[in-house]
Amino acid sequence: MDLRNVTMRKFRTEDAVAVSKIIRNNFMDVNSKDYSEEVAQRTNDQFTPKFVLSMSNKRKMYVAVEDGTIVGTASIDFDTISNIFVDIEYHSKGIDKMLISLLEEIADNNGLRLVKLVAAASVQKRYEKLGYDTVEEIESEVFGKEILMQRYLA
């Protein structure tokens, strides 16, 4: 795969099914090792296309597209980047980095100098390599363990 063929754009209503599928596949096949079976299943059940559409009304969502196919998604709500998911077939190709860079650029253009990121434990080291520092670990019955990270923008 050539990253030059991957483009980033704003989420559209018609993207909800594809984005839902990417998120759900990640939760059940990848993120399940970070969460209890109950949390993974609850999250999987929650991220329906309807729920994804409701999220898109509350935050800025973006998708990564290769040859007309959505291969990743991420969102930003003011200064917090979240819901970074890449199609399992495209893991370790740098698409997450492209999405995060786009959202950091948006934050920077809006005058922000610090961005936060919510991560699963399995990707904490990946985000540290991108310049993020761990702020705290958050544990809840609903979402399980999440890592709040931050990075100062140049």
Locate the domains of the chain by residue range.
3-152
Residue 32: predicted pLDDT: 59
24 closest CA partner among 64, 83, 67: 83
Q: Retrieve residue 43's tokens.
A: 């999250």
Residue 12: predicted pLDDT: 97
98 closest CA partner among 70, 128, 72: 72
For residue 66, which amino acid is it?
A: E
pLDDT tens profile 1-14: 567 789 999 999 99
The pTM assigned to this predicted structure is 0.89
pLDDT tens profile 17-43: 999 999 998 877 766 566 667 777 777
For residue 30, which amino acid is it?
A: V
* C-alpha neighbours within 13 Å on the C-beta side of residue 40: 14
Homologous superfamily (CATH) of 3-152 is: Gcn5-related N-acetyltransferase (GNAT) (3.40.630.30)
pLDDT tens profile 69-102: 999 999 999 999 999 999 999 998 999 999 999 9
